[in-house]
Amino acid sequence: MRTRPLKVALLGCGVVGSEVARIMTTHADDLAARIGAPVELAGVAVRRPSRVREGIDPALVTTDATALVKRGDIDVVVEVIGGIEPARSLITTAFEYGASVVSANKALLAQDGAALHAAAEEHGEDLYYEAAVAGAIPLIRPLRESLAGDKVNRVLGIVNGTTNFILDKMDSTGAGYQEALDEATALGYAEADPTADVEAFDAAAKAAILAGIAFHTRVRLDDVYREGMTEVTSADFVSAREMGCTIKLLAICERAADGASVTARVHPAMIPLSHPLASVRGAYNAVFVESDAAGQLMFYGPGAGGAPTASAVLGDLVAVCRNRLSGATGPGESAYAALPVSPMGDVVTRYHISLDVADKPGVLAQVATVFAEHGVSIDTVRQQGRLDGSGEASLVVVTHRASDASLTGTVEALRKLDTVRGVASIMRVEGE
Q: Are strands 100-103 and 76-79 parallel, antiparallel or unpaired?
A: parallel
Residue from 106, 206, 248, 416 carrying the catalytic annotation: 206
Contacts of 178 by beta carbon, 8 Å cutoff, 6+ apart: none
Q: Which amino acid is at 284?
A: Y
Please, which residues bridge with residue 286 across strands? 158, 300
Q: What is the CA 146 to chain-centroid distance, rounded? A: 20
Q: At what angle do helices 306-326 and 15-26 cross, to 10 degrees?
A: 60
Please, which residues bridge with residue 271 across strands? 246
Q: Give the helix/strand (H/E) hosting 161.
A: helix 161-173
Q: Is 206 a catalytic residue?
A: yes
| Coil, strand or helix at 106 | helix
Do residues 200 and 131 lie in contact, with contact meaning Cβ atoms separated by under 8 Å? no
Q: Where are the beta strands (DSSP E) in 104-219?
A: 127-128, 152-158
Q: How many CB atoms lie within 10 A of CB 416?
A: 8
Q: Which amino acid is at 180?
A: A
Which residues are identified as catalytic?
A: 206
